[in-house]
Amino acid sequence: MPRPIRGVLPIAHTPFTAGDEIDYASLRKQIDWAIDVGADGVCTGMVSELLRLTHDERLQLTDELAAITAGRGCVVMSVGAESVKQALIFTRRAAAAGCDAVMAVPPISCGVPAEELLHYYASLADASPLPVIVQDASGYVGKSIPISVQAELLKRYGNEKILFKPEASPIGPLLSELRDMTSGQARVYEGSGGILLIDSFRRGIAGTMPGMEYLDAIVPLWQALVRGDDATAYRLYFPVCALVALQLQAGLDGFLAIEKYILHQRGLFATDLRRRPNSWNLDAETQAEVDRLLAILNAEVKRTPR
């Protein structure tokens, strides 16, 4: 029976060896650490560099991630692709591997009209018993998904089958629009890296899907929000915001470069390598600011009871 999709569900990064192969030993370290600091499960997503993996690597990563997590939390596998046929292969593999849900961005190589978006997501929903998270990643890649399309999918399949991760800008107002258009029935997960977590929480999200790099801060931040402890939440939130602001300046590769740098510094990854080509690399001055801000965040995490 699928595990619940709720709480703090970090996006796993894909570590690479010096020979540009997936480093499954580092992947295991990352997942073990995530569960140890209180994650409710793990996901893959855009910062997993899925679009830079081969077809076979994506299938193997699905199997390995489910096996490594081994029931310690839910597993959400990203299955978005440029065609329905591709996405169905990834969706069926996720179900066979024992994942608990799939998440999909729409095709990003062209602007897909509403009726085709409905067909794409309906095909995924019909292909397996797993819930489908509709991911609008248009804040940094692809085109936005109309709220009307999202509401229609929810109407057809219900909120146990269709869930949402809205990342189109402006995130907060669009999140509220989806909530209100569906009479509060939409189950929504935010993915802003933490910079919009508090605003999104107040708009009624069911969980957050941050990167891994600040997870030991995001978990107690989320827990503080749940118990209504704003003082603790904001104390952790402000340095997270400052760090994410540095990542935002360079889009997806800004997130990847800094996230992998931090995971390597934490000793979780053997390298900080990304698949090439890359549009941005971490320069020495940005790295120094990341180090300063991370020291501030780590100090706040240490003085926050678990």
| Predicted confidence (pLDDT) per residue in 37-79, tens digit | 999 999 999 999 999 999 999 999 999 999 999 999 999 999 9
Task: Please state the residue numbers annotated as binding site for pyruvate.
Answer: 209
Phi-psi region of 249 (alpha: psi -120 to 50; beta: other; left: phi over 0): alpha
Question: Rounded CA gap, 54 and 174, in Å?
Answer: 33
pLDDT per residue as tens digits for the range 198-224: 999 999 999 999 999 999 999 999 999
Task: Please state the residue numbers annotated as binding site.
Answer: 209
- Please classify residue 51 by burial: count the beta carbons closer than 10 Å to its beta carbon, then call 0-12 exposed, 13-18 middle and 19+ buried: middle
Residue 306 pLDDT more than 80? no
What the block records as the tokens of 165 is 């991760």
Domains of the chain from N-terminus onward: 7-231 (3.20.20.70)
Predicted TM-score (pTM) above 0.85 = yes
